[in-house]
Amino acid sequence: MTRTRYTAPALDKGLDILELLSGSAEPLSMGQIAERLNRSKGEIFRMLVALERRRYLARDEATERFLIGSRLFEMAMQSPPTRNLVATAMPHITAVAHSLDQSCHLTVLSNTQIVVIARVEAPGELGFAVRLGYRRRVDQSTSGRVLAAFASPGERARLLLRMQEEYPDFDLADFQRRLAEVEEKGFARGPSRAVAGVTDIGAPVRGETGWAVAALTVPFISRDGSAVDLEAATAIVLAEAAAISADLAIGMPGG
């Protein structure tokens, strides 16, 4: 029996663009997109316009280069598992922010990157916060080390393989050493690679299987006269991450 294969060239072209940009560390020009997909600029132009119009793509005003827009993130946030995770975590994220007078956010894995899906800014006048939808390479973030360290063995193996395939500068041995340290401690803590003077604290949020489904992270800024030091802040982040995990297990947002 002969099977008929149906094709949708325009759809394939659009998906190729989205997949390319989602894995790119920086915005790409129309010429770069065409070159990397082995297509002409004429083929790419109309698709870029359509995807930008519907907010699947955005354009950097300074460079005119394209990057992933907000629409895909909004659609992902509307899925029931993500809505439940955010609804369950928000009271605890808020509790951390107010207890520490620091910003706090929740991240999940997205291919070889972490993505911020919820956040609460520091209630005081001074703080550092990342935007919703912020992405960063797994090996270049505290959240990424937490998510990789407490992932299932199969998921971790697939992640490490993708990292080696996508990033020529990825140091597998160094990353595995760091993951072992995180596993032993039960959390990750270290200087931010994005902002000087910030110490990131990250702890795993575990799902039904016991493996991490998210990371609760605080970009901690030391202040003179603060009532909560780094050690106390770490204990609070760990406790609230465990509380989110417990709430997820019983399916009751907020505990």
**Contact present, 105 and 97 (Cβ < 8 Å):** no
Give the pLDDT of residue 132: 82
Cβ-based neighbour number of residue 16 at 10 Å? 17
Which residues of the chain does CATH 3.30.450.40 include?
A: 79-250
Q: At what angle do helices 80-100 and 230-250 cross, to 10 degrees?
A: 150
Please identify which residue in the block is written with the tokens 């030091």: 229
Which residues of the chain does CATH 1.10.10.10 include?
A: 9-69
The CATH number given to 79-250 is 3.30.450.40
3-state helix, strand, coil in the chain (%, to 5): 50, 20, 35
Give the pLDDT of residue 82: 64
Q: How far apart are CA 118 and CA 77, in angstroms?
A: 10
pLDDT of the chain along its 255 residues, tens only? 445 567 778 888 888 898 888 777 688 999 999 999 998 888 888 889 888 888 888 888 778 898 877 676 666 656 656 678 888 999 999 999 999 999 999 999 888 889 898 999 988 766 677 788 888 899 999 999 999 999 999 999 999 999 999 899 999 999 999 999 999 999 999 988 877 788 999 999 998 889 999 999 999 988 776 778 899 999 999 999 999 999 988 764 444
Give the global pTM.
0.73
Q: How far apart are CA 217 and CA 114, in angstroms?
A: 12
Say which CATH topology domain 9-69 has: Arc Repressor Mutant, subunit A (1.10.10)
Q: Measured on CA atoms in the order 9, 15, 21, 24, is the torsion positive or negative?
A: negative
- Tell me the DSSP string of 90-115: HHHHHHHHHHHTS-EEEEEEETTEEE
Contact residues for 33 (Cβ-Cβ < 8 A; gap 6+): 17, 20, 21, 44, 48, 66
